[in-house]
Amino acid sequence: MIERLCVIGVGLIGGSLARALRDAGFCREVVGAGRNPAHLQKAVDLGVIDRYETDPGRAVAGADMVLVSVPLGAMAAVFSAIKGHLAGHAILTDAGSAKGGVIDAAREVFAGVPAFFVPGHPIAGTEQSGVEASFASLYQGRRVILTPVPETDVQATARVREMWEAAGADVVEMDPVHHDAVLAATSHLPHVLAYTLVESLARLGDDGEVFDYAAGGFRDFTRIASSDPVMWRDICLANGDAIQLMIEHFVADLNTLTEAIQNRDGQLLLELFTSARDARNRFVDK
Amino acid sequence: MIERLCVIGVGLIGGSLARALRDAGFCREVVGAGRNPAHLQKAVDLGVIDRYETDPGRAVAGADMVLVSVPLGAMAAVFSAIKGHLAGHAILTDAGSAKGGVIDAAREVFAGVPAFFVPGHPIAGTEQSGVEASFASLYQGRRVILTPVPETDVQATARVREMWEAAGADVVEMDPVHHDAVLAATSHLPHVLAYTLVESLARLGDDGEVFDYAAGGFRDFTRIASSDPVMWRDICLANGDAIQLMIEHFVADLNTLTEAIQNRDGQLLLELFTSARDARNRFVDK
């Protein structure tokens, strides 16, 4: 049970957690924080938060749980703003899509990773953003990865786990470096590919004519290219090394396939496509 | 109105056209052809076709409209099998995803592209295949591209257009070379990328562990990698040059983005992602 949850960054991720915890009766009060009073008032009007502060330091006062769900590039500034204002019993967690950079920021701002900080990442979301897009069931059956470091208090991790489980999530723990490699593969690389594909086709110079002949598969394939550009800029900056490694891995495999096309090697093409289809059917649509 | 439609290759594409034309009352009789009697009997049981022949030459006898909807690699063999068996008034069309190779095959088999052959391509389909997956509304509001060549009879093109319009499609005409370039961009390249991504991740060596942390976006992004490997092998063989050009174009753009990541160039990343997102919102989800 949380007495006062403070959500810094009341968008799809933070808003959906607040809704889920309210619905579950797991949280007595929700205080929102952010830079835009109009957005925050909308969150109040939607019943997502009870009240808000635009100063993160004021917002965290008295909160026993603080979730920072802002773009990765804003994490360090938020940590600085709340430093010295957290209650003695407060637990701090975040929802950043890459963990190494957030942990570094916490280490720097607090002069060592605080025991009360539990780095986390809910593997959920849509290409939508904003509190208007938030909904209580977003985390139902979804994975949340917590990446505690040796400094992290075990009780704090347990409390954050309880919170996400109350929201319906399936919580796992993982080493932050492994997390960042896995997410580079399954999320960051696909986004980079989708953004590049759309940009690449848009620049073909037919004034968008090619898109007139795109079928449903193309719509699905490029849906993630409608995601928030600021969020994805920050992810590419924060997890650049892991993403670059995955791009290299991917380009090597794409070269193999391109050579098979060039050599009209039907046997190899059939093997690659069959193997990929089987992997997808085995692992993704299982 | 079609008196007798012959569908060679009764799968998702051919089966859905037969269903749509029956529903529209545009077709009196449907004869199916294929290699597998069990599949064809299933099509009869499902009410998609009236009867079948396993010999394409017998199947086309007396048909006034013949649709060849087989993988691209089987087109030439089908043309050879029906040559000399078509009725004098028969119109021949196909549903191949790349037109250059089909037109070449027709030119070779018939010693010149016949006036009664109208190359076509319905931009529809799902990652499913087989007659069980066929449904009458597949072509509702979808584009069908016809790529007549100078040899093609204008009346034959008009008849094929009428047929697809009766199935609910929006029919356009296009030069075959332009068709193959456009489809390389919007369909063939995305499939190549999706297959490569899944194969690339499957080979990371974690026994599929990465896929456990894939979110909904990944599922959408890789859905087309569940498509029929034989069909996609044939497309890569038939339209290899255009696909290679698009891969080169894409890889150049991916390199630009990779360099931006390497240089931690947040401004360029934001510009690229914003431009891509806007293009998708403008052209794809319009």
Interchain proximity B185–A269, CB inside 8 Å: no
For position A219, what pLDDT does the model report? 86
pLDDT per position as a tens digit, B133-176: 999 999 999 999 999 999 999 999 999 999 999 999 999 999 99
Chain B residues with CB-CB distance to A71 below 8 A: none
- To the nearest whole Å, the CA of B61 is away from the closest chain A CA by 33
Name the CATH code of domain A2-173 (choices 3.60.15.10, 3.40.50.300, 3.30.450.20, 3.40.50.720).
3.40.50.720
- Residue B254: closest C-alpha in chain A: A196
Q: Do the chains contact at B201 and A125, CB–CB below 8 Å?
A: no
Q: Where are the alpha helices (DSSP H) in chain B?
A: 12-23, 37-45, 56-59, 75-82, 99-109, 154-166, 176-183, 189-202, 216-222, 229-238, 240-262, 266-279
Which residue from A121, A69, A71, A126 is spatially nearest to A97, judged by alpha carbons?
A121
Domain B2-174 fold is Rossmann fold (3.40.50)
**A135 shares contact with chain B (CB less than 8 Å):** no
For residues A240 and B261, is the Cβ–Cβ distance under 8 A?
yes
Q: What are phi and psi of A117, to 5 degrees?
A: -100, 120
Q: Give me the residue spans of the domains in chain A.
A: 2-173, 178-284
The answer to whether B135 contacts chain A (CB < 8 Å) is no
Other C-beta atoms closer than 10 Å to the C-beta of A260 total 22
Question: Could you give the residue ranges of the DSSP H alpha helices within B150-239?
Answer: 154-166, 176-183, 189-202, 216-222, 229-238
**What pLDDT shows up at residue B221?**
87
pLDDT at B7: 98
pLDDT at A206: 66
Per CATH, A2-173 and A178-284 having the same topology is answered no
Residue predicted with more confidence, A283 or B170: B170
Write down the mean pLDDT value for chain A: 95
**pLDDT above 80 (res A115):** yes
Q: Which CATH number fits domain B178-284: 2.40.50.140, 2.40.30.70, 1.10.3660.10, 3.90.650.10?
A: 1.10.3660.10
pLDDT value, residue B206: 66
**Sheet strands side by side (includes B120-122):** B120-122, B143-146, B170-173
B266/A73 Cβ within 8 A: yes
Say if the Cβ atoms of B124 and A215 lie within 8 Å.
yes
Q: Does B277 touch chain A (CB under 8 A)?
A: yes
Q: What is the pLDDT of residue A286?
A: 60
Q: How far apart are the CA of B109 and the nearest CA of chain A, in angstroms?
A: 22
Report yes or no for ipTM above 0.85: yes
Place of tokens 């919170």: A163
Mean pLDDT of A176-198: 96
Residues of chain B with pLDDT under 50: none
DSSP one-letter string for A142-183: -EEEE---TTS-HHHHHHHHHHHHHTT-EEEE--HHHHHHHH
CA distance B235 to B151: 24
pLDDT value, residue B129: 84
- Using CA coordinates, name the residue in chain A closest to B248: A258
With pLDDT > 70 as the criterion, what percentage of chain B qualifies?
99
**Residues A144-174: tens digit of each pLDDT:** 999 999 999 999 999 999 999 999 999 999 9
Is the predicted pLDDT of residue A221 greater than 90, yes or no? no
